[in-house]
A = this chain, B = another copy of it.
Amino acid sequence: MGKSRLEAFSDGVIAILITIMVLELKTPNGADWDALRVTLPHLLSYVLSFVFLGIYWNNHHHMLQATHRINGTILWANLHLLFWLSLVPAATAWMGEHVHEAVPTAVYGIVLLLSGVAYFVLQRRIIAQEGPDSDLARAVGSDVKGKLSPVLYALAIGLSFINPAFADGIFVLVALIWLVPDPRIEARISSRASE
């Protein structure tokens, strides 16, 4: 089964998610800098979620590039990932309205945690299909980032009840860890192409 429609559909959904978050940026009440300043927490939440969705699109792009065939299970594992990602805009809007409050920050962390788990499951299903000697399997390797992120998200969820600012700091940290596109897969594809 070809992977092109899976890529196209995922691109579509992620492109829409990353864009409709803008609709939550309410027009400021007033026409001065103060009115704009009130929307700053919304804007910062938006930036954070934009980066997270960008990271998912980027990694999804890399992973699918190293994928040769898909099956029905992979289709559903992909839809499962898109489901959790689809909750990011709602979680972002809630956190944007209630910065420095425990529950919205924790819920934002839960959505990120479950998105990460769904990505991990999708990766497992694709590797199961591609085989343990596939480019993808070797490129993913021990997957330190993929295993570290859920731990950090869980930590952030817990810390948001102590001080939501700690959780925010961890979210930024995880984003920074992932912001570099995965050199392992890119390197392996390049080395293959030049063999």
Contacts and interface: CB of A to CB of B under 8 A. Distances in A.
Count of this chain's copies in the oligomeric assembly: 4
Contacts of A82: 18
Contacts of A140: none
A22 B83 contact: no
Mostly helix, strand, loop or mixed at chain A's interface?
helix
A163 interface: no
Contacts of A31: 94, 97-98, 101-104
Interface string A46-64: 0100100010011001000
Interface string A2-20: 1001011101111111111
A72 B186 contact: yes
A61 B97 CA distance: 37
A18 B22 contact: no
A103 B32 CA distance: 6
Interface residues of A, number: 61
Interface stretch (A85-93, A112-120, A128-136, A169-177): A85-93
A107 interface: yes
20 contacts: A1-B186, A1-B189, A2-B65, A15-B16, A16-B16, A17-B22, A18-B86, A19-B20, A19-B86, A20-B23, A23-B23, A23-B89, A27-B97, A31-B97, A31-B102, A50-B83, A54-B79, A61-B75, A72-B180, A72-B183
Interface of A: 1-2, 5, 7-9, 11-20, 22-25, 27-28, 31-33, 35-36, 47, 50, 54, 57-58, 61, 65, 71-73, 75-76, 79, 82-83, 86-87, 89-90, 93-94, 97-98, 101-104, 107, 179-181, 183, 186, 189
Across the A-B interface, the 3 shortest Cβ-Cβ residue pairs: A72-B181, A12-B15, A31-B98
